[in-house]
Amino acid sequence: MSTEGGEMTGTRPQRADARRNRERVLAAAEDVLAADGMSASMRAVADRAGVGLGTIYRHFPTREALYQAILAARMEQLVAAGRAATTADDPGAAFFDFLTRILDSARDKKALSDVLAEAGLDPKSGLSRITDDMREVLATLLSRAQKTGAVRPDLRMPELFALLTAVSLGVERAAWSRDLTTSTLSLVFDGLRPR
Amino acid sequence: MSTEGGEMTGTRPQRADARRNRERVLAAAEDVLAADGMSASMRAVADRAGVGLGTIYRHFPTREALYQAILAARMEQLVAAGRAATTADDPGAAFFDFLTRILDSARDKKALSDVLAEAGLDPKSGLSRITDDMREVLATLLSRAQKTGAVRPDLRMPELFALLTAVSLGVERAAWSRDLTTSTLSLVFDGLRPR
């Protein structure tokens, strides 16, 4: 059995140390990207993770594979945060806080997605399972917030998703400042509250 | 003096018949695009306008030049409609109707903008004067609607522009259906009304 192949597809069993290495590389890549931006080199990621360049390329044969894995990891963290919020004491605050968090993440995703798109890859490829999870978490948060009266009862998932998409695109493509994002989002949120 | 050069840059005086020809070609191109989509041929435009292919190319040396002129003409029509609305009896309805009209036009602009972007051209190039006019018209409509109490008094132009951009991007890039656009827009509009 090839351990390497198992690590790359993520479907076959992984040895614990290989998985730890992979996670260490992902965390290092996040740090290096935050510091150096998209000019970050694979060499810098390897140094930061304390592994050889060969280890990086065994886990992520191309820069694009690494970026795709980072995007997936971020989405999974976001879904996990949303799932934790489904038991919050204040369902209204939990709902609006989670929407804000999704849109904050849009800003960081942009540069990675651009590199993937330039390489002719679909940034969303391989994320469909996570997207389904996100949809489920959002539906739960919405329903809880509606029950407490914090969100208008006629708000449905298609419109909620459409609004999230629109504001994400604004943040990503029109490069809104943080202040403009906050004030625009507060107008959108007011439209979601009962009148 | 070269009449042809004057027609192309639009800055030097044009002979009336050349201008009429140019307008006839633009109107024909709109019709042909509506019928044939982006596969429309310059030949079909010439036939529809009742002019020779040479006349088309004298006014619009490339397909991209023709599309750019159509985008500019549509923006000018939109601004003219907005300007007419600044004297409407119901400033609240005039404001929201105009926003709806802007977003309706986003759907039609998408295909033309894509062709220009693919050719490496900026779809917004040469539109800065029209964008300034649009901004001025929107500011007037907003201020009138706020005076009658139809729009919240704390809505400012940056947020209004940001929301228009976001929803336009949603319509253009996420390919919203007409129904989804209408229901999403109604949520956004509710956020703009006084509470």
Residue A35: per-residue pLDDT: 83
Nearest to B166 among A159, A166, A195 (CB): A166
Give which of B107, B151, B188, B193 to mutate to test A binding, by max A Cβ within 10 Å. Answer: B188
Please indicate whether residue B41 or residue B191 has the higher confidence score (pLDDT): B191
Does B169 sit within 8 Å of A166, measured CB to CB? yes
pLDDT reading at B2 higher than 70: no
Q: What span, in angstroms and rounded, lies between the C-alpha atoms of A7 and A60?
A: 10
Residue A2: per-residue pLDDT: 43
- pLDDT tens profile A34-46: 888 777 889 999 9
| pLDDT tier, A6 (very low <50, low <70, confident <90, very high otherwise) | very low
| pLDDT tier, B155 (very low <50, low <70, confident <90, very high otherwise) | very high
Residues of B in contact with A188 (CB under 8 A): 163, 187-188, 191
Calculate how close chain B gets to A95, using CA atoms only, in Å: 17
Calculate how close chain A gets to B151, using CA atoms only, in Å: 12
The interface predicted TM-score (ipTM) is 0.79
Chain-centre distance of CA A12, in angstroms? Answer: 24
Residue B85: per-residue pLDDT: 97
| pLDDT tier, B3 (very low <50, low <70, confident <90, very high otherwise) | very low
Residue B1: per-residue pLDDT: 40
Positive or negative, the Cα torsion across B87, B102, B181, A132? negative
Q: What span, in angstroms and rounded, lies between the C-alpha atoms of B41 and B46?
A: 9
Q: Please, which residues have CB within 8 angstroms of residue B157's CB and are 6 or more apart in sequence?
A: B135, B138, B139, B142
| pLDDT tier, B34 (very low <50, low <70, confident <90, very high otherwise) | confident
Place of tokens 């917030």: A145
- pLDDT tens profile A142-177: 999 999 999 999 999 999 999 999 998 888 877 788
Tell me phi and psi for residue B178, to 5 degrees.
Answer: -65, -40
Give which of A124, A142, A157, A159 to mutate to test B binding, by max B Cβ within 10 Å. Answer: A159
Place of tokens 């006014």: B59
Check: CB of residue B192 under 8 Å from CB of residue B151: yes
Does A184 sit within 8 Å of B163, measured CB to CB? yes
Please indicate whether residue A146 or residue A71 has the higher confidence score (pLDDT): A146
Mean pLDDT of B4-25: 68
| pLDDT tier, B28 (very low <50, low <70, confident <90, very high otherwise) | very high
Compute CA distances A66 → A4, A45, A99, B28, whole Å. Answer: 15, 10, 27, 50
Percentages of chain A per state (helix, strand, coil), in multiples of 5:
75, 0, 25
